Amino acid sequence: MGNNKVERLSPQEMRDIMLANAKVLMSDRFRTTAPEVTGQKKKVISTLQK
């Protein structure tokens, strides 16, 4: 077995990293209008009706 001890992050460091990740994911860069993601009902566009 090797001597590979990995230093763990403190709870505060983990919180800071997760908060930064959440801010990025909630930013406009990842905004979507897909009804599946936003929880809205899909709008059915009928192109066959004339």
Domain ranges of the chain: 8-32
| Residue 21 near residue 29 (C-beta atoms within 8 A) | no
d(CA 3, CA 6): 9
Selected residue with higher pLDDT from 45 and 16: 16
* Segments of the chain assigned E as strands: none
pTM as predicted: 0.47
Residue 50 CA to its chain's centroid (Å): 41
Q: Return the pLDDT at 25.
A: 83
- Enter the tokens of residue 27: 């930013």
Q: Within a 10 A sphere around the Cβ of 49, how many other Cβ atoms?
A: 5
Q: Return the pLDDT at 16.
A: 96
